[in-house]
Amino acid sequence: MSIFLSQRARRVRLSPIAAAGQRANALAGQGRDIVALTAGEPEFDTPEAIKEAAVAALARGETKYTPTAGTAALRRAIAARYGRDHGIALTPADVIVANGGKQVIFEAFAATLDSGDEVLLPAPYWPSFPDIVRVNDGTPVILSCDERSGFKLDAARLEAAITPRTRWLVLNTPANPTGAVYRERELAALAEVLRRHPHVLVLVDEIYEQIRFGAAAPHWLNIAPDLRGRTLVVNGASKTYAMTGWRIGWGIAPAELVQAMTAIQSQVSSGASAIGQAAVAAALDAADQTFVQQGRLAYARRAELVSKTIPSIPGLRLLPPQGAFFAYVNCGGLIGHVRPDGRPIESDADLVDWLLEAEGVAVVDGAAYGLSPYFRLSFAVADAVLEDALQRIARAVAALQPAQAEVMA
């Protein structure tokens, strides 16, 4: 007997990143020597001061249900941090706290999308975005942004893509999977287009906000303060404070949207973990942010290593990441090459399979992010692990041969 699945369930797939991680874990469980560069997860441990704050919350008995939209302490801490860092005046009423940034995004789309409503997604995109749109009855509209654009959407493409059914534009900066960072003039140009289309909301995914390798642009809400009434900013503690397993994210939005998302959350999960919220509030309130600065330096060092090494491997090239901890590697120069067993490399997925099979390096194919032929590797791993992985990739690529036609030519 098979279970009847809804059309909603049929529209959704397992996250390609999770699938790649599961495959790598399965091989490791079989005794294979696997280097996994699939997950967007810092290898650092959560700082001791944050863990101590969680222990203190336990000792105070903060083990009960929390308000659906988040504890007053954490919502105040989030509002205060945006005031300190960006000069943006927020109140706790502007903030919703959830079980990670992904839940914030899901609830926002659940609160605003009706069947056929369109969401503009610049590609490459985080793979969860189109599926979250689909499960909420929306239509993802993919806007391909290649290397020539720096993997960024420009004003002309945005203007051409907007229709009467457009409900959201999604902006991710620094971006997963490319590490691209929008500059002030680029954001200002997009804002100018959006002013002509007041029916379009803006989702700014800034989960990697604190991981930038150059000068930061002003915040979107400072560049376009007049668009604040239709902007949702998504952020969280996972990447900045190495707190992925604590599952605390937040959204900053107009009060009407916060209220609608809170109502949905009340029927999905209720409030997020009391202990996790206490820990994140302590992280944001702390005067000492050395951990954040050290993490940024470590990721910048690894980005430089990847940016120097990858282009030295024949058939690969890379637009150096400007933030986050991912490299989006162009592998077009290897399409058509042949493995030692005679099987051709016909796609980025084939190359990803070869890297895993030949040298035990797990990465994610570019098709998962909406733009091929590429693969994404995460450099949120220890330096020695990354160096080993890059050497393995070089060996795997060296074992490939050009197609016979190319050799004869």
Q: Write the pLDDT tens digit of every residue in 272-284.
A: 999 999 999 999 9
What is the pLDDT at residue 408? 44
Q: Is residue 1 over pLDDT 80?
A: no
Question: What counts of helices (H) and strands (E) characterise the chain?
Answer: 15, 13
Structure-block tokens of residue 395: 């060996």
Q: Which range has the worst mean pLDDT, 61-70, 83-92, 395-404?
A: 395-404
Task: Give whole-number Cα distances, 96 to 77, 135, 258, 261, in Å.
Answer: 12, 22, 6, 8
Q: What is the DSSP track for 330-382?
A: E-GGGTT-B-TTS-B--SHHHHHHHHHHHH-EE-EEGGGGT--SEEEEE--S-
Over residues 294-316, mean pLDDT: 98
Q: At residue 22, does pLDDT exceed 60?
A: yes
Q: What pLDDT is recorded for position 25?
A: 81
Separation of alpha carbons 168 and 194, rounded Å: 10
Residues 6+ apart with CB under 8 A from 55: none
User: What integer is the mean pLDDT of 299-310?
Assistant: 98
DSSP state of 141: E
Mean pLDDT, residues 159-173: 98
**Residue corresponding to tokens 């390609």:** 16
Amino acid present at 53: A
Over 60: is that where the pLDDT of 175 sits?
Answer: yes
Q: Is the pLDDT of residue 8 over 90?
A: no
Residue range 161-179: mean pLDDT, rounded = 98
Given a cut of 50, whether residue 407 has pLDDT beyond it is no
- Note the pLDDT tens digit of each residue in 66-80: 999 999 999 999 999
| Mean pLDDT over the full length of the chain | 95
Least confident of 7-11, 316-320, 334-338, 346-350: 7-11
Give the lowest-confidence range in 31-35, 173-177, 194-198, 362-366: 31-35
H or E element at residue 10: helix 7-10
Average pLDDT over residues 372-383: 98
| 5, pLDDT greater than 90 | no
Residue 54: pLDDT band by 50, 70, 90 thresholds?
A: very high
For the chain, domains (ranges, CATH) are 7-45+291-408 (3.90.1150.10), 48-285 (3.40.640.10)
Residue 74 is predicted with a pLDDT of 98
* Contact in structure between 329 and 179 (CB atoms under 8 Å): no
The whole-angstrom separation of Cα 373 and Cα 346 is 10
**CA–CA separation, 380 and 325 (whole Å):** 6
Average pLDDT in the 12-40 region? 82
- Cβ atoms of 122 and 150 closer than 8 Å: no
What contacts 365, CB < 8 A, 6 or more positions away? 16, 347, 348, 349, 351, 352, 372, 374, 375
Report strand pairing: 95-98 vs 249-252.
antiparallel
Q: Does the predicted TM-score (pTM) go above 0.75?
A: yes
Query: Residue-wise over 161-194: b if at least 16 C-beta within 10 A, else e?
Result: bbeeebbbbbbbbbbbbbbbbbbeebbbbbbebb
Enumerate the β-bridge partners of residue 377. 327
What pLDDT was estimated at residue 16? Answer: 76
Q: What is the pLDDT of residues 327-338, one digit of tens each?
A: 999 999 999 999
- Residue 335: predicted pLDDT: 98
CB 344 within 8 A of CB 194: no
Binned at pLDDT 50, 70 and 90, residue 30 comes out as confident
Rounded to whole angstroms, the Cα distance separating 251 from 193 reads 24
DSSP, residue by residue, 17-68? HHHHHHHHHHHHHTT---EE------SSPPPHHHHHHHHHHHHTT--S---T
